[in-house]
Structure 1
Amino acid sequence: MAPKVLVSDKLSETAVQIFRDRGIDVTFDPTIGKDKEKLLSVIDQYDGLAIRSATKVTEKIIAAATNLKVVGRAGIGVDNVDIPAASKKGIIVMNTPFGNSITTAEHAIAMMFAVARQIPEASASTHDGKWEKSKFMGVELTAKTLGVIGAGNIGSIVISRALGLKMKVVAYDPFLSEERAREIGCQKVELDELLERADFITMHVPFTEKTANILSAENLAKTKKGVRIINCARGGLVDEAALADLLKSGHVAGAAFDVFAQEPATENPLFHLPNVVVTPHLGAATTEAQENVALQVAEQMSDYLLTGAVSNALNMPSVTAEEAAIMGPWVKLAEHLGAFVGQLTDEPIESIEVVYNGVVTGMNLKALDCAAIAGVMKATNPDVNMVSAPVIAKERGVELSQTTQDKTGVFDGYIRLVVKTATRERSIAGTVFSDGKPRFIQIKGINIDAEIGEHMLYTTNEDVPGIIGTLGQTMGENGVNIANFTLGRSGPKGGAIALLYLDAQPPADVLEKLMATGMFQQVKPLQFDAA
């Protein structure tokens, strides 16, 4: 059955057609996004939801979305999506962070020009029939120092445009390396130095706990007298009241804002001040940008629903279509390793470590981590998936870690999973053979070669004669067919294990008969996803 997608906001017909061309059953109704009750009543019918900013994907909507797998936001801002609730439900949330990058960067440059030359005020004055040439004395951008807070995708485009205007550029970004700074043509500095040196300051960072009020009253006071400040990123990055005071005192010569702490902004401390340029969140408002993000979100959602490829997700590692094809068996192996340990563990888990060895270390390890953690967590919560499992694990206080190793042993690559509780540690390793089938290759340090099936039986015992016969006879007498049988031991007379691949799950009384023989320390039926 074709996946079903609801487009609840205004997307272009071209974008909607992409869903159709990819074989998606799409419903295009841009009125639903503003009708909460209508959306609530129909959302359970859909695998995907494509939105802009009008649709509010609340916790209540997510709770009713019993089949929803992905929410795609045409644009960068996802303030209208409850991402934690979506993550717990296992719903991927995607955005399109690059579709409007050029448009937003160009708007910042335009706002910088506007405030440097007081263009809006001069335009209004001239429209009124005045001719006030001497009143609107501006400043050149050439040779001025531009301070860029945030040198990511949009910030780097702004830097490129500013260099074309012959400006000097300093940038503050904790994630900016010296090499990258040289590559894009700016000087990396700390925030205090940027504030002291910049003639113009522009911000290109998301709104987070660390960036909230980054231009506080204290930091604004550190700026050079006559500075001009541009914000086309996110509201809440600047103390607007403190900035208004500095504009009135003349310390700040001008400001240009496209975003505000409260939106829609019908009133604001910056409104009606001289040489303050304001626009109603127009950063992404060009025909090209709106079309680009719509087309991009349609392609991303279709890729995920049809091939499992994940791109620009906010709560899941990205996996390309090519990676999905190559990594598929390894993802399944990671899930199986997790499922094995999860089904054997009946006490609270304290830590999960995933160890990658050899060729697998070059793969998308974040995605493999998610698969392994999901396998473990499904034992107690069948509804978890690769999106929700890490969130739930962290909520339960489980410490998650990852280790990589160069190739050791006879296998080109393998994954080992180590799970610790308060009383014990369990480990299991597996690999993918050339036939694309995952195999268990070690359990409790004991080497094996076990094919993985939907129904399995795991036993532990002392290495004594009669184990194989007892298992085979008991299964045969009770009509349980054995498809494959794998044994392993630590050494003669030491600990031993058996893994039986069965055609069906053995009844409880069969397990009781095995334990009643006194030959086994543990008899545990296991189930693995056959898909």
Structure 2
Amino acid sequence: MPKVLISDKLSPAAIDIFKQRGVEVDVKTGLERDELIKIIDQYDGLAIRSATKVTQPVIDAAKNLKVVGRAGIGVDNVDIPAATAKGIIVMNTPFGNSITTAEHAIAMMMALARDIPQANASTHAGKWEKSKFMGVEVTAKTLGIIGCGNIGSIVADRALGLRMKVVAFDPFLTPERAQDLGVGKVELDELLTRADFITLHTPLTDKTRNIIDANAIAKMKDGVRIVNCARGGLVVEADLKAALESGKVAGAALDVFEEEPAKENPLFGMENVICTPHLGASTSEAQENVALQVAEQIADYLLTGAVTNAINMPSISADEAPKLSPFVKLADLLGSFAGQLTETGIESVTLEYEGEVAGMNTRALTNAALCGLLKPLLADVNVVSAPVLAKQRDINVEEVKREEPRGVYETYMRLTVKTERQERSVAGTVFSDGKPRLIQVKGMNMEAELGPHMLYVTNEDKPGFIGALGSVLGNAGVNIANFNLGRTGAGADAIALIEVDQEVTEDVLKAVNELPHVRQAKALKF
């Protein structure tokens, strides 16, 4: 009988589901790290929320652990690379608390507009300071939404119901989707200058970390009000404090913080700041939903091998896995390659399957490709939620299958991404050794195996370029593992795809971009 540990507070309904399905379950909440490490090897599954930290030491001690289920969206508290290396599946429940979180953001905005917490405390103290708490209306004000995905779109709907004007910044928001939502699609700088209220609903990634800093605040209206119910780390707290003290920002409402649990914070005690202890998902309905979902998902995997809402594994059956696995990896790599090079809103994605792969479970492959494509900007995306997120953003996804191969490869997969500005394609195959290879980029033939750290360069095919590029990398102490080239013709467009042994720094990237004949250089990670 499989055994599961529930280490954070979950609805009792989750316990009932495990027992009804024939899974043994223990509930031990509030464990310190060393206490968890001492007992984790007894369990096949671990059900958590945000309090339990599944770190490398915990994973190292988890000799029998097969699955970690997070009741909620974010998996910041799980070391996913370590879990993946150990063969532990990490699942979440991506849509169980969207409405609850969106409603909390609206509630925080209204409280901020009318100084409700401050007025409540004053009245309880018997002060009756009616003239002190002069609020503002939200009607006809402009709400700027940073991140207009599942939660952000619900916030937009509610704000429009309050007769607000809504503008949104989201690289994946298409004009058509924006029109359907009734919001204005704008770039970040325009949002910052137009908004009376700003609310954040984006995951924490390398591109969104510190998105609200002193430079961003300087572009905002005087008297702007900021709401963050998404992730700590999106707002530079020291910069926000300075802006609140100067009056540039009239008020802020925060449900998340750079360090949690937040027992101390530079913003605590400020009269124009409202703080709540990460309550975005804290309603009885949301807790019930995510508890039921995570219990079902963990039980299904432990009893039948079914994988649902996995962060680090596609949804494929046990029978399909051996044959499909290398093609899933190829699809993910193709998507990740294109996603890291995509900087504008995606309109459509086409997956072409030729040869043997055309007869496989291409849905799992397409999901894996979409996951890789969307992950650079949407950290909390998995192979199950990726198609839903693509549909929400009006990204048209198409599959084309040809069972008879037309080229030199027995099996072939090509991903084409059409954005507002351009169309880019990348193709690959799986060789007999089971390893995926890139075989074509932007119509240029090349053969490349993708490593953890890659440098992608588009350039003019001119004499001396390869030597100059090698010199830049050599002078920076960057060792080249593999060097792959492709071109459309002599002296024409060319591509260099270089695997290096360490991460490419911004200084190195800048030096490469400044070389003659270079059109674009980007660092890629896989």
Determine if the TM-score, normalized by the shorter chain, exceeds 0.5: yes
Give secondary structure in 1 for the equivalent of 2:179. Answer: helix
Once superposed, what is the RMSD of the aligned Cα atoms? Answer: 3.2
Say which of 216, 219, 230 aligns to 2:216.
219
Cα contact 2:327–2:365 (8 A) shared by 1: no
Tell me, in whole angstroms, the C-alpha distance in 2 between the residues paired with 1:143 and 1:242. Answer: 28
Measure how far apart 1:116 and its partner are: 0.4
Measure how far apart 1:238 and its partner are: 0.9
Structure 2: unaligned runs, 5 residues or longer: 329-351, 370-382, 384-398, 414-428, 435-526
What is the correspondence of 1:14-53 to structure 2 with a 5 Å cutoff?
Answer: 14-24=13-23, 26-31=24-29, 34-53=31-50
Matched, 1:333 2:331: no
**Structure-1 residue corresponding to 2:282:** 285
Tell me, in whole angstroms, the C-alpha distance in 1 between the residues paired with 2:211 and 2:431. Answer: 46
Cα contact 2:354–2:404 (8 A) shared by 1: no
Compared CA separation, residues 37 and 18, structure 1 to 2 (3 A): same
Compared CA separation, residues 221 and 307, structure 1 to 2 (3 A): same
Measure how far apart 1:180 and its partner are: 1.6
Matched, 1:151 2:141: no
Matched, 1:365 2:365: yes
Compared CA separation, residues 210 and 405, structure 1 to 2 (3 A): same
Compared CA separation, residues 409 and 292, structure 1 to 2 (3 A): closer
Say which of 411, 414, 421 aligns to 1:416.
411
Aligned residue-pair number: 367
**Structure-2 residue corresponding to 1:473:** none
Matched, 1:237 2:234: yes
Say which of 389, 400, 406 aligns to 2:401.
406
Compared CA separation, residues 127 and 23, structure 1 to 2 (3 A): same
Measure how far apart 1:77 and its partner are: 2.8
Measure how far apart 1:176 and its partner are: 1.3
**Structure-1 residue corresponding to 2:114:** 117
Measure how far apart 1:167 and its partner are: 0.8
Compared CA separation, residues 426 and 206, structure 1 to 2 (3 A): closer
Matched, 1:5 2:4: yes
Tell me, in whole angstroms, the C-alpha distance in 1 between the residues paired with 2:71 and 2:325. Answer: 32
Q: Which letter does structure 2 place at the counterpart of 1:273?
A: M
Compared CA separation, residues 361 and 294, structure 1 to 2 (3 A): closer
Tell me, in whole angstroms, the C-alpha distance in 2 between the residues paired with 1:84 and 1:289. Answer: 28
Measure how far apart 1:291 and its partner are: 2.0
Say which of 220, 244, 247 aligns to 2:244.
247
Give secondary structure in 1 for the equivalent of 2:144. Answer: strand
Cα contact 2:411–2:430 (8 A) shared by 1: no
Q: Which letter does structure 1 place at the counterpart of 2:19?
A: R
Cα contact 2:166–2:184 (8 A) shared by 1: yes
Structure 1: unaligned runs, 5 residues or longer: 339-352, 370-386, 388-403, 419-424, 431-531
Matched, 1:77 2:52: no
**Structure-2 residue corresponding to 1:108:** 105
Matched, 1:180 2:170: no
TM-score normalised to structure 2 length? 0.64
Cα contact 1:56–1:81 (8 A) shared by 2: yes
Tell me, in whole angstroms, the C-alpha distance in 2 between the residues paired with 1:233 and 1:264. Answer: 15
Structure ID, larger Rg: 1
Which digits, 9 at most, give the CA deviation of each residue in 1:379-404, with x for residues without a partner? xxxxxxxx9xxxxxxxxxxxxxxxx8
Tell me, in whole angstroms, the C-alpha distance in 1 between the residues paired with 2:362 and 2:157. Answer: 33
**Structure-1 residue corresponding to 2:480:** none
Compared CA separation, residues 409 and 268, structure 1 to 2 (3 A): closer
Tell me, in whole angstroms, the C-alpha distance in 2 between the residues paired with 1:337 and 1:227. Answer: 49
Compared CA separation, residues 178 and 308, structure 1 to 2 (3 A): farther
Cα contact 1:199–1:227 (8 A) shared by 2: yes
Cα contact 2:405–2:411 (8 A) shared by 1: no
Cα contact 1:197–1:223 (8 A) shared by 2: yes
**Structure-2 residue corresponding to 1:197:** 194
Tell me, in whole angstroms, the C-alpha distance in 2 between the residues paired with 1:282 and 1:67. Answer: 33
Tell me, in whole angstroms, the C-alpha distance in 2 between the residues paired with 1:18 and 1:145. Answer: 45
Cα contact 1:257–1:278 (8 A) shared by 2: yes
Q: Which letter does structure 2 place at the counterpart of 1:116?
A: A
Cα contact 1:154–1:204 (8 A) shared by 2: yes
Compared CA separation, residues 131 and 307, structure 1 to 2 (3 A): same
What is the correspondence of 1:381-396 to structure 2 with a 5 Å cutoff?
Answer: none
The sequence identity of aligned pairs, in percent, is 64
TM-score normalised to structure 1 length? 0.63
